[in-house]
Structure 1
Amino acid sequence: MTGKLPSDRVKFAFEPEFETIPIADIIPLRIVGSNVKASLKYGQIKSSIHHSGLAEPPVVARDRNDRGKFLLLDGHIRLAVLQEMDVREVNCLVATDDEAYTYNKRISRLAIVQEHQMILKAIKRGVPEETIAKVLNLNIASIRTRRRLLTGICPEVVELLKDKHVPMNTFTELRKMKPLRQIEAAQLMVTMNKFSITYAKSLLSATPPAQLVEGSKSKKNSGLSQEQIDLMEQESANLDREVRLIEESYGKDHLDLVIAIGYVRRLLENVRVVRHLAQHYPELLAEFQKMADSSQTHSGQVLNR
């Protein structure tokens, strides 16, 4: 084969130049509610924009019914922050296809291990801790805690939990275990999709003293007899076996769920469908969005995002 691809076969995903657009002409496809504005994520984005400016431009598509208006595909929180700051216009990346996919559905909240690695890279590049704290809307003590997050955690556990949303205190409990037990505990967390500090403490309580690092203590002396500890360990092992048996017969039912949720997602990725539902059936649209968001939260490792 020689020559170039015919130009009519190549379609650019975005217009070649950024466009400065009045915020009043941008139409959001979802509402940023008060609960979102009260979240840590919103505060971090607001702080980042205030201290460092807008690092990532919103993605919009031209409204096919009104070429002077733009549909917001990605950047709803960023746009809400800019409106709150009384900014009147913003540089945007203009997509050429408003139905390819809903951009914000492809973006996941930063996992704690990823945040830790980002902080280490910033410090290595000479960024002061005070600046990192301001950008992330955290105090310096919290930044230092995140910087030391993986001290005493074995690499296999880091790999297992690198994209999971794990509370920082969970790593404190894992750190009290020896590497092999850390791996075993992390595998149980992934299998059960439970990463809470309470679950981590229960795993620590069921850990034999020989599998604890020197100087660490489990909660075995807080009202639990050795017989109760042994029973907990047995129940944990039985539960693990039952979960694995369920996983073997889980495929078909989950495949049906994936297909159904996939269809709902495709509906929500069609801007015209979303606009029609928002105008005429807002309650139905809200339920569809809950369904898609919930399935992504609980089955993010399985569903194709």
Structure 2
Amino acid sequence: MNRYVGPDALREVLQAFSSETVVLEIQTILPVRAIGKTVKASHKYQQITSSIKEIGIVEPPVVCRDKQRPETYLLLDGHLRIEVLKELGRTQVECILSHDDEAFTYNKRISRLSPIQEQRMIAKAIERNVPKEKVARALNINTRSLLRKATLVDGICEEVVALLKDKICPLATFDVLRKMIPIRQIEATELLINANNYSVGYVSAILAGTPQTQLVDTAAPKKMKGMTAEALSRMESELARLQQAMTSIQDTYGQDHLHLTVARGYLAKLVGNPRIAKYLEKHRPEFLSEFKNIVEMTSTIGAD
């Protein structure tokens, strides 16, 4: 039953950040970790450098005041951005001022940009007449790579785009999917998601197991290095059986999961009864051992 809580019992929610950004001298900002040579040589660091050179800081660094030295600030998030600004000779930066120093929380729930999300961002920039060369420089890629990213979903059906919109998968995976007709693209994508494997090798194996009639170019024979026509035919049959088995499991999964949960609760009561536990230990010790294993399961899903 819900209990009434009066207004006086509600505590004030404190704001974690200042409502406005502040412009600080970079020399007053103290990093809490060092940036090594390996990081500076990484592609990510080069991308950040190119982006700042081309369009400036997109996401302001997060800082908090040093309690021991109020005239200085601790850098909580944005070490690479600050390092790039130093290399570029900048002296000031716009920052978000935090009221605490919990640096570990900022990147804990970070979301990486998926290829489809990146494609939409690039396509929208091009639609707004931003020069392709400028976008390419900001992303630290050449124009040819930019155009490939911009046309990533060409030939991919809408259902697959929706399924993969937040998935991190190689660009070449889309090249393989593009060789299949839409219905087969959806089936292949579901296999990728169920296996949580978006590698080019896996999707190429699915392509090899795809019937010729489900390819965009039905006249071109399928070829895989080191595989004969007979092996490809067997792979088609095995993949078809695998899909059928997975569909069968999906159809009964909910009901099976419910039955197992109910059974687990019932067995917990049995094992928890001292008289029944003593009887099983004396007459059916193998049953008691299995019952305890089921009861101690923290999840009805198998361990990795």
Structure 1 CA distance, aligned partners of 2:80 and 2:237? 47
The answer on 1:103 being equivalent to 2:101 is: no
CA shift in 2, pair 1:35/1:201, >3 Å: farther
Which residue is equivalent to 1:173? 176
Which residue is equivalent to 2:192? 189
Per the normalisation by structure 2, the TM-score is 0.70
Residue range with higher mean Cα deviation, 6-15 or 93-102 = 6-15
> Which of 78, 81, 91 is the aligned partner of 1:75?
78
Structure 1 CA distance, aligned partners of 2:219 and 2:98? 55
Q: What CA deviation, in whole Å up to 9, does each residue of 1:180-211 have, x standing for no partner?
A: 11111111212222222222211111111011
The answer on 1:63 being equivalent to 2:66 is: yes
Structure 2 CA distance, aligned partners of 1:216 and 1:228? 19
Q: What CA deviation, in whole Å up to 9, does each residue of 1:111-132 have, x standing for no partner?
A: 1111110011111111111111
Q: Looking at both structures, which has the greater relative contact order when contacts are Cα pairs under 8 Å and sequence separation is at least 6?
A: 1
> Which of 35, 42, 46 is the aligned partner of 1:43?
46
> Which of 118, 143, 146 is the aligned partner of 1:143?
146
Which residue is equivalent to 1:261? none
How far did 1:215 drift?
5.2
C-alpha contact 1:43 1:137 (8 A) present in aligned 2: yes
C-alpha contact 1:157 1:186 (8 A) present in aligned 2: yes
How far did 1:237 drift?
5.6
In our comparison, the structure showing a higher alpha carbon Rg is: 2
Q: Which runs of 4+ in 1 moved over 6 A?
A: 4-8
Structure 1 CA distance, aligned partners of 2:23 and 2:224? 64
The answer on 1:154 being equivalent to 2:157 is: yes
Which residue is equivalent to 1:19? 22
Q: What CA deviation, in whole Å up to 9, does each residue of 1:52-80 have, x standing for no partner?
A: 11122111122334323322222122112
Unaligned runs of 5+ in 1: 252-305
Residue range with higher mean Cα deviation, 165-174 or 226-235 = 226-235
CA shift in 2, pair 1:99/1:209, >3 Å: same
C-alpha contact 2:208 2:224 (8 A) present in aligned 1: no
Structure 2 CA distance, aligned partners of 1:143 and 1:194? 25
C-alpha contact 1:58 1:93 (8 A) present in aligned 2: yes
* CA RMSD of superposed structures (Å): 3.2
C-alpha contact 1:26 1:69 (8 A) present in aligned 2: yes
Structure 2 CA distance, aligned partners of 1:197 and 1:67? 53
CA shift in 2, pair 1:236/1:72, >3 Å: farther
Structure 2 CA distance, aligned partners of 1:107 and 1:141? 29
Which residue is equivalent to 1:231? 234
> Which of 149, 153, 163 is the aligned partner of 2:166?
163
CA shift in 2, pair 1:229/1:57, >3 Å: same
Structure 1 CA distance, aligned partners of 2:163 and 2:47? 26
Structure 2 CA distance, aligned partners of 1:62 and 1:216? 68
Unaligned runs of 5+ in 2: 1-6, 258-304
C-alpha contact 1:75 1:104 (8 A) present in aligned 2: no
How far did 1:175 drift?
0.3
The answer on 1:125 being equivalent to 2:104 is: no
CA shift in 2, pair 1:137/1:64, >3 Å: same
Structure 2 CA distance, aligned partners of 1:221 and 1:18? 56
Number of matched pairs: 246
Structure 2 CA distance, aligned partners of 1:28 and 1:218? 58
